[in-house]
Chain A
Amino acid sequence: MRLEARDLSIGYRGHLVGSDISLSLGPGEVLCLLGPNGAGKTTLFRTLLGLQPALGGAVLIDGEPLARLRPAEIAQRLAYVPQAHVTEFSYSVLDVVLMGRTARLKPFSSPGAADERLAREKLAGLGIADLAAQDYTRVSGGQRQLALIARALAQEAPILVLDEPTASLDFGNQALVLGRIRDLARQGFGIVLSTHDPDHALLVSTRVAIIADGALRAIGSPDAVVTAEMLSAIYRTQVLVEETPSGRRVCVPAWEAPAPGG
C-alpha cells in the first residue's frame, strides 16, 4: 500500500500555503514531517487525509486519486491519529477504540462482539488493555494518545497518519509512544508523522521531509536531511547535531558548554 503526493499544492480557497510538494510512503516506512510551527504541516496533513481538497496536484493511494474515494474507502486505507485531546463527552476508552471500526461496518450497523474483541486486542497490543473500561477523559495524556493509536489500528488501515503524537506529553510518555510507533513500523505499517522535535525525527523515522515556509525544503534519510545547517536555517537559531557515545544523533542549541561544576 503506497501513499503518494504528486506535485501537491495545498491551502485554502484564495490562500496558497504550499506548492510543489511530492513525497511517497510504503509499508514499513516512517516518514517524519519536520518543520517549525505555522510552516504548513497541518495543512499538508489535512490534505493528505482528504480532510480538505488539494489546490493542485493529487494525493494517491496505490495509484488511486483520493478525491475519487468516499470517506469510508479512505478510512479503510488511511487512519488518522490526531493529537490527544479531551472529548466533550465521557466515553470509555473501549468506546473510543470501537469508533475506529466504523469504516469496517455496514452503514446501519453497530459494532458487535467480534469488533469488541478486535478493539480489546489492539488495546492489549499497546499495553493498555486494562484501560478499556476507564473514562477516556480521565486517563493521562500519554494513555489517551495510545488509545487514539489503538483506534487507528482498529480501522485495520495499512497507513497511519499521526499529527504531533508527542505534543504535550511528558518525557516518559513520549518515549512510550515513540517506541510503539517504531514497533508498528516493524510490523509493516506505513507511518507518516509530524513533529516539531528533530530528536524524535532522528529516533524513529526512515525518511524525513523538511517543511518550512510552505515549501518542501528537503526529503531523504534522516542523516542526510537533519543536519546542523538545515536546522539552523529553518529554526533561525544556531543548532548543533552531535553523535552520542551510543551512536545516536541528537540536536542541541549551539551555546557554549557550561563550565565544569558551574
Chain B
Amino acid sequence: MRHGVFVLLLGALVATLLLGLAVGPYPLGFADVLHAAARAVGVDNGAPTPGEIVFGRVRLPRVAAGMLVGAALAGAGTTYQTLFRNPLVSPDILGVATGAGLGAVAGILLSLPVAGIQGLAFVGGLATVGLVYVIAAALRGHDRTLVLVLGGVVVGALAGACISLVKILADPYDQLPAITFWLLGSLASVKLADLATVAPLVLAGLVPLVLFRWRIGVLSLGDDEARSLGVDVFRLRALVIGAATLMTASVVAVSGVIGWVGLMIPHIARMLVGPNFSRLLPASMLLGASFMLIVDMAARSIARVETPLGILTAVLGAPFFLWLLARGRRTWG
C-alpha cells in the first residue's frame, strides 16, 4: 500500500502526459513526432516541418510547463499548509501570487517586452513576501505564524489594490484585455526559453524542501513543540518560506495567476497518503502535475481561443471543495 499509491500517481501522470502531447489545435501526425525525436538525437532531415516545430517547440514545452506549474503550485501549497498548520492555506497566503500579478500588470502597463513582464512578475512575487517577512520580523513579541499570515493578508490586499489601480490606468483598448487575461493564467505563450529559466528555479526551491522534509513535518506541531524536539524553527521556517516562494514566483511569472491548485491538490493528496510531509510532498506534486495537464488540455480544446486556466481550476475546484466539506470530516487528512 505504501508504494502502491505512488505507482498509481506516477502512472496517472505518464498517461496524462501522453494524452497532453496528443491534444491540441494543430493536427499532429506520428511522423512529426518521429522526426522531432530523430532531430533531437542529431539526425538531420532537412528543414523541420511545421508539425515538427509544433511538437518540439510548442506542445512539448507547453506540456512540460504544465507539469512544472502544477507540481510547483501543489508543492508550495502543501508546504505552506504544513508550515501554517492550516489545511485551508494557499500558496498566495503570503502574497506571492498577488505580488507577481502586480509586477506583471505593471510590465504590461509600461509596454515591456515579454521577458520584462515575466521578470517584473518574478521580482514582484519575491519582493512581496520579503516585505511580509520584514513586517513580521519588526513586530516582535507576537505569535510569529499569526503575524506572518496577517502580514500576508495586509500586503496582499495592498498589492491587489495596486493591481486595480493599474487596471484603471491602463489603456482599455490595448492593455486591459491583456492584463485581465494574464491575471487569469494561461500557458498559451510558453516557450522553450521560459522552461529553461523556470525549471532550474523551481528545482532550486524544491531541493531544500526535499532535504528537510522530515523536519518540515515536525514544524506542523507548532513552534514550541518543534523547538523542543530539536528543530531550529526560526531558521528552517525562513528557508522553507523562501524555497516555496521561489517555486511559486517562478511559475507564476510564466503562467500568470492560477488559483485553487495549491489549495485543493494537497487536500486530495492528504486523503490518499496521509499528512506525513515526507510522503505528502511528492504525492501532491505528482497529483498537481497531472491535474494541471488535464486543465491545460481543456484550456486549449474547449474552443479555438484559449480559456484561462484560473477559470477552469476554479470551475473544477470549487464544487469539489464543497463536496469535501459536505462529507463532514472532523479533522483534515
Residues of A whose CB lies within 8 Å of any CB of B are: 12-13, 46, 49-51, 70-72, 74-76, 78-80, 82, 86-92, 95, 99-100, 102-103, 105, 107-111, 137, 151, 155
Contacts and interface: CB of A to CB of B under 8 A. Distances in A.
B141 A13 contact: yes
A76 B230 CA distance: 8
A90 B214 contact: no
B211 interface: yes
Interface stretch (B2-10, B58-66, B165-173, B272-280): B272-280
6 contacts: A75-B229, A88-B220, A99-B218, A103-B229, A108-B211, A111-B214
B221 A71 contact: no
A163 B1 CA distance: 38
A88 B232 CA distance: 21
Contacts of A86: 331
B45 interface: no
Contacts of A75: 228-230
Given A90-B275, A107-B212, A109-B214, A71 B230 contact: yes
Interface residues of B, number: 32
Contact of B278 (A74, A80, A110): A110
Contacts, number: 90
A78 B229 contact: no
A100 B229 contact: yes
Contact of A90 (B211, B217, B221, B332): B332
Which among B227, B230, B278 has the highest number of chain A CB atoms within 10 Å?
A: B230
A78 B275 contact: no
Given A71-B230, A75-B228, A102 B215 contact: yes
Interface string B263-293: 0000000100011101000000000000000
Nearest 6 A/B pairs, CB to CB: A103-B230, A75-B230, A89-B275, A80-B228, A72-B230, A110-B214
A82 B230 contact: no
B184 interface: no
A18 B264 CA distance: 47
A137 B332 CA distance: 10
A155 B212 contact: no
A215 B56 CA distance: 75
Given A50-B228, A80-B228, A88-B85, 17 more contacts: A71-B228, A71-B232, A75-B229, A75-B230, A80-B225, A87-B220, A88-B331, A89-B85, A90-B331, A91-B276, A102-B230, A103-B230, A107-B215, A108-B211, A110-B214, A111-B214, A137-B331
Contacts of B224: 46, 51, 80, 82
A10 to B, nearest CB: 15
B301 interface: no
Nearest to B275: A89
A42 B10 CA distance: 48
Name which of B82, B86, B220, B221 has the most chain A CB atoms within 10 A of its CB.
B221
A145 B211 CA distance: 31
B299 interface: no
A155 B229 contact: yes
Contacts of B229: 75, 80, 99-100, 102-103, 151, 155
Nearest to A80: B228
B87 interface: yes
Nearest to B84: A88
A218 to B, nearest CB: 28
B53 interface: no
A151 B221 CA distance: 13
B7 to A, nearest CB: 20
Contacts of B214: 102, 105, 109-111
A72 B232 contact: yes
A105 B215 CA distance: 10
A74 B230 CA distance: 7
Contacts of B230: 71-72, 74-76, 102-103, 155
Interface in B225-246: 225, 227-233
B213 interface: yes
Given A102-B229, A102-B230, A110 B220 contact: no
Contacts of B160: none
B220 A71 contact: no
B119 interface: no
Given A46-B224, A105-B214, A108-B212, A90 B232 contact: no
Contact of B86 (A88, A90, A92, A107): A88
Given A13-B141, A95-B276, A87 B221 contact: yes
B333 interface: yes
Contacts of B82: 89
A184 to B, nearest CB: 17
Given A88-B220, A102-B231, A110 B275 contact: no
Contacts of A137: 331
Contacts of B233: 71
Nearest to B276: A95
Q: Which of A12, A46, A90 has the most CB of B within 10 A?
A: A90
A114 to B, nearest CB: 15
A102 B333 contact: no
Contacts of B218: 99, 102
Contacts of B276: 91, 95
Contacts of A95: 276
